[in-house]
Amino acid sequence: MTKNFKLSSITIAIALLCQANNVLAAEQVASKAKSDKSDKIEKIIVTGTFSGKAVAKEEASFAVSSFSEDDIKKLAPKSTADLFKAIPGVWAESSGGVSGANVFVRGFPGGGDAPFLTVQLQGAPIFPPPTLSFLENSTLFRLDETVEFMEALRGGTNPVISNGQPGLTTNFLLKEGSEDTEGLIKYSTSDYGLQRVDAVVSGSLADDLYFMMGGYIKSSPGVRDAGFNAEEGNQFTINITKELDNGKINLYTRQTDDHGTWYLPTPLNVEGVDNQFTQIGTLNRQASIQYGPDGNKTTETVDFGQGRGWNGSVSGGSINLTLDNGWGLVDRFIYTSGDADTYGLVPNGAPVKLSTVADNGSTAFGSATGTEYSGDTDVQQIGRWVVKKQIEAFTNDFALTKTFDMGSVTAGLYNSTFSAKDWWALGNQSYHVIAPGGENLTGIDCNDNIDSCGWNYDINSIGDGRTTALYLAASYEVSDAITIDGGLRRENHEIEYTVDEGLDGVITKAVSYDESSTAWTVGANWMFAKKQGVFIRASEGSKMPFFDDFRDNFGSYQAGEDLIKDVSQFELGYKFSSDNYELYATGFFNEVKGDTFVATPGDPAEVFTNEAYGVEIDFNYYNDNGFSINLNATLQKTEVTEHSDSSIIGNESPRLPNYQIRITPSYDIEFDNGMYATLYGTISAVDDRFSDSANTSTAILEGYEKIDLGMIINLSDEVQMQLSVSNLTDEEGLTEGDPRDTLSSNGRYILARTIDFSVSYQF
């Protein structure tokens, strides 16, 4: 698809949306829609405040975005990470499926996963380590009708509060019950065979005691058709709230069992491979792996159709009280336990012709069908990777606040224990036909004698950790217009970790770690007019090392290095809110020292320092005729400033675009018969990126444009239908190259065009 066609498609889409606005501008929009518009302007946020109490968004001295239930509905995300694309300053690669995304924020470096992302539920971190190998926080959370809204805090007070995440904290808040019993049931389907039912109900159990419960069950072959039900899941949530005369008590539990195919980079130079291609299929989902020490290996047959997912529970609660004499306390606690396993068919190197690897120099046979494949068949080594991961964590965050006439002081205690048990069998390379679900072959020495092909990396590891932090923060109103604040956090971090590399019962790496660090933030907010102001903030924080950091940097740990990644940030923001529009613009500069990247587990780590600066823009406009538009843009520049390889210094950080822009227009229409509808769309544009730190010319990921369209029709107050089309023009943009071999001509496409439809009944 050419650039001209893509740009023409965008022009046509804009013209159609503008034409719809002109034609329908005379229509009167339902009073409910007008009320919703006012609610969008008057935004209250809770994430990022030292005390945990709510403040008006325009009065916050940090960059935070909020997304209502209606916002999330229009974005129609395919996964939790897909929703993060709508956050200014965030680059989310959600093309890996329902789990296993890569999420970056404000130019912070990272080779994959989401090392600077924390996902909170009800204000508490679901799992304190932001990233472990084959696990990032968004994997542990599934969107459904029980979610009320999401807030996203970048930088700001992050280094001091919660788990001290210096990058991005996303906080999901659940719906709560009320005196009225109400609920919703929704059926969803799609052009890729999705079958999903959501339900939620809420109401009162007794005086001032409310409940909400709901969840979903779903099944589909996947956005990229695997030929079998590759995506299956269910989830159930209960949220109990007790209103008190001086506060609130909340308890919840969320049980999830959801998995889907792990979409991996595919060959970009082979005919027939496009954005609908996936390696997994009926002919190869069952495969044998070998693991353990040489001479005593175990062979096991595995179902790789399981993909990546989460089978576990997240339970917790909070106590929020207003006490006498200006005192208040907030205590949040959360317990997470379950399995986050990974089964994937991972490309190993570039595609080749079968004749170059066949034993007879010409043909080979399919191990499932017996088909004889000719020598000019495209084949590729595929690694059959298995990662079994058991995690557990308990976190408590207590904050006590004293409010004075001109300010407040908050003291907090954060305590978290966490563990991970890993069993890996990586490698097990074997040549497969390059085709959807391409089968394994016989008649190739590499395939028939697995020890003769590639590498294996098998481990059995156990890790336990504890983080304890004290934080102190204060704010002071210099005048009615000017407020200053500051916070200090002292954190102690302990890790006990052992690794058996080779699965032979011999511990090859053992870690006993105990280090502390200090984080701080200072900010000032000047509201020089009503609902208009500026803020400035400086902060220093850190990303503490977790289990995989020690395995990948074991030599550095033995040499006495603390492995702490130091993060410095500076922010300057402008915010303005009126009856019809709001603008939030934040300039940022940051430096991350000591970041690491390991291309393949077991390889030595690449250590570097990165700087980034830029601006993120969040603009919303609403009018009384039902038209609204959102502009979400990030402009940034990244640079590697320190690296062991001097040729890397001065290069751009890999995989991070210099710009990304999202424009989302929406129009509400009321019909004479009482029905009303919303037309909406999103136009996205992403800049070129490099897939490697060497900025190799052959490793450029070209920029792309993408169009999404949708319509919501309210047939009555109770019945609603939604139709959404993602990637209207079927754009074949790339989110990444092959992180294990950036020059292999492998890459991962964005998801292909999909059409989703749902109908819901609300009572």
pLDDT digits (tens, 9 = 90+) for 366-378: 999 999 999 999 9
Give the sign of the dihedral formed by CA 287, CA 291, CA 296, CA 300.
negative
CB 49 within 8 A of CB 56: no
**Partners of 497 in the β-ladder:** 463, 511
pLDDT digits (tens, 9 = 90+) for 414-465: 999 999 999 999 999 999 999 999 999 999 999 988 666 878 999 999 999 9
User: What tokens does 93 get?
Assistant: 């690669």
* pLDDT for 408 beyond 60: yes
Task: Compute φ and ψ for 428, nearest 5 degrees.
Answer: 50, 50
Q: How far apart are CA 140 and CA 151, in angstroms?
A: 17
CA angle 604, 605, 609 (to 5 degrees): 155
Q: How far apart are CA 500 and CA 657, in angstroms?
A: 39
Locate tokens 């950080």: which residue? 653
pLDDT above 70 coverage of the chain, percent: 94
Judged by phi (left if over 0) then psi (alpha if -120 to 50, else beta), residue 304 lies in: alpha
3-class secondary structure, 535: strand
Range of the domain at 148: 3-762
Confidence label for 171 from pLDDT (cuts 50, 70 and 90): very high
If you average pLDDT over residues 53-66, what whole number do you get? 88
| 381 CB neighbour count, 10 Å cutoff | 21
pLDDT digits (tens, 9 = 90+) for 317-358: 999 999 999 999 999 999 999 999 999 999 999 999 999 999
User: Residue 726's pLDDT is what?
Assistant: 97
pLDDT digits (tens, 9 = 90+) for 460-513: 999 999 999 999 999 999 999 999 999 999 999 999 999 999 999 999 999 999
Q: How far apart are CA 449 and CA 709, in angstroms?
A: 51
Q: How far apart are CA 116 and CA 608, in angstroms?
A: 16
Number of domains, the chain: 1
Nearest to 24 by CA among 627, 629, 620: 627
User: Residue 166's pLDDT is what?
Assistant: 96
Confidence label for 42 from pLDDT (cuts 50, 70 and 90): low
Q: How far apart are CA 153 and CA 21, in angstroms?
A: 33
pLDDT digits (tens, 9 = 90+) for 374-393: 999 999 999 999 999 999 99
Sheet containing 734-736: give its strands across.
266-267, 746-749, 734-736
Q: How far apart are CA 697 and CA 645, in angstroms?
A: 18
Residue 483 belongs to domain with CATH number: 2.40.170.20
CB 701 within 8 A of CB 655: yes
Q: How far apart are CA 71 and CA 662, in angstroms?
A: 14
Half-sphere exposure (Cβ direction) of 349: Cα atoms closer than 13 Å = 15
Determine how β-strand 117-121 pairs with β-strand 168-174.
Answer: parallel
